Structure 1
Amino acid sequence: MKCRYFSLAALAVALAVPGQAAAKSGDIRFKLLATYVAPDGKIDDVKLDLIGLPAGTQTKADDNVVPTVAIEYFVADNISLETIAGVTQHDVVGRGGLAGAGLVSDANIVPATLTLKYHFGKEGGIQPYVGAGPSYFIFIDEKPGATAVALGATRQKMNDTLGFALQAGIDVPVNDRGLAVTFDAKRYFLRPTARWFAGPTEVLRTRHKLDPWVVSAGAAFRF
């Protein structure tokens, strides 16, 4: 598992001070986060198999921890739009008939996401929220894993994929100047397709249930 750890010194500013005004229409909130990404990655369907996958073949993508940022705009007092920015990197390994096989190496993913959120809670207090919206996962510079290369694969490609995200979280005020501690969880639903090539010939095509959990914690600053 590849992990990039992100220092959140702002979380050390610690004791909540009551009296922070709730976010209002037109406010902008910037969030600095440490994010744990836990994808599934199992095979949902085999579309093409010219290599003869062993019976019981399955796959799993590894987890990662990365820094992310989020920008939130309040279109009304309790309603906001939020987008996130970050890059997460994953390998895909075999399970079952291909247990331990390295299939995909260093797949960098940009999870472009826009959610519409509704905020609950009393003014000046803790603000839980729920949200939902579309996501578009962009895959960058992925390569065949070591086992796939040994079997003759020369190139591997994951297709960019449109999906959907559900979201829930909580903002806890720290002072009366717009600083808060924030906790957020998203569940994505998407089905990317993976392709392996030997020279110019496509030899394997599989559809995957990626469906990652994305859990974040950090500091929020309102402007």
Structure 2
Amino acid sequence: MKTLTIAAALAAATLIATPAQAGDKDGKLQIKLLATGVLPDGKVTAVNNDPLDLTVGADTVVSDNIVPTLAVEYFFTPNVSVETICCTTKHHVNGTGTLSGANLVNDVLLIPATLTLKYHLPLGAIKPYVGAGPAMFIMLDAKPGATVAGAPFNVDDVDMSSNVGAVVQAGVDVPLGDSGFGISLDAKKYWISTTAKFYVAGVNVLESKHKLDPWVISGGVAYRF
């Protein structure tokens, strides 16, 4: 996360400092540096393997997180663009219901790879937009939580699957004069799931499917050129 913040700051500084990249409110490229809240759902939707009936009457909750985000957007026309975002986000999974208070998975690190086609409404200086496209949550790491890592479960490995889903978005860009700088607010809703597999000495002792379906809310600064 710290590396991403430094990289984003350097990218912005380079754009600002390079004379050839003069700001233009109608330019083809737009870079955004955003603070982003990732707010997952995290419900169990199916249980594929549970010989100890651990999931009976139980569900899960996934922690929220706030991360820096870098968005890059290319305008094909004044009203049509394509955008991708770059960030990593880390979450914890805890139990609810009969597993209330149980720490199940820690440090779920993922990349929410996203590509959206956007339409900007021609409403003057303030530029609202809507968009939609595919998304893929790339799972980089996950660790057994304290509850399942200890006795009597002794889980020593957790695998969270990477999956493809869909996303819609809506937001607004507010240019600050003709300088190319602006303020951006954005909301995305994802529909995407993952399968969690828990292992003890290489044996799959629990497998369950979870919908993540997060809201992702962002706000920050934009530079168009």
Name the TM-score, length of structure 1 as normaliser. 0.88
Asked if residue 142 in structure 1 is aligned to residue 142 in structure 2, the reply is: yes
Alignment match, 1:23: 26
Structure 2 counterpart of 1:80, which letter?
Answer: S
Alignment match, 1:117: 118
Deviation (angstroms), 1:175: 2.1
Alignment match, 1:15: none
Q: Name whichever structure is richer in helix by fraction.
A: 2
Cα offsets for 1:184-209 (capped at 9, x unmatched): 00000011101000111001110001
Please give the alpha-carbon distance, in whole angstroms, between the structure 2 residues aligned to 1:59 and 1:122. 43
Corresponding residue pairs, total: 209
Please give the alpha-carbon distance, in whole angstroms, between the structure 2 residues aligned to 1:53 and 1:122. 54
Alignment match, 1:17: none
Deviation (angstroms), 1:179: 0.6
Alignment match, 1:133: 133
Asked if residue 162 in structure 1 is aligned to residue 161 in structure 2, the reply is: no
1:180 maps to which of 177, 182, 197: 182
- Does the CA-based 8 Å contact 1:163-1:188 persist in structure 2? yes
Over the aligned positions, Cα root-mean-square deviation in angstroms equals 2.4
For structure 1, which segment, 136-145 or 211-220, has the greater mean C-alpha deviation from structure 2 after superposition? 136-145
Alignment match, 2:65: 64
Deviation (angstroms), 1:50: 2.1
Structure 1 unmatched runs, 5+: 1-5, 11-19
Alignment match, 1:79: 80
Relative to 1, partners in 2 of residues 1:178 and 1:21: Cα closer, same or farther, differing over 3 Å?
A: closer
Alignment match, 1:16: none
Alignment match, 1:220: 222
Identity among equivalent positions (%) equals 48
Deviation (angstroms), 1:146: 0.5
Structure 2 unmatched runs, 5+: 13-22
- Does the CA-based 8 Å contact 2:37-2:66 persist in structure 1? yes
Deviation (angstroms), 1:21: 7.2
For structure 1, which segment, 183-192 or 53-62, has the greater mean C-alpha deviation from structure 2 after superposition? 53-62
- Does the CA-based 8 Å contact 1:192-1:210 persist in structure 2? yes
1:207 maps to which of 206, 209, 224: 209
Deviation (angstroms), 1:23: 3.0
Query: After TM superposition, where is structure 1 displaced by more than 4 Å over at least 4 residues in a row?
Result: none
Deviation (angstroms), 1:121: 3.0
Please give the alpha-carbon distance, in whole angstroms, between the structure 1 residues aligned to 2:122 and 2:97. 47
Deviation (angstroms), 1:215: 0.1
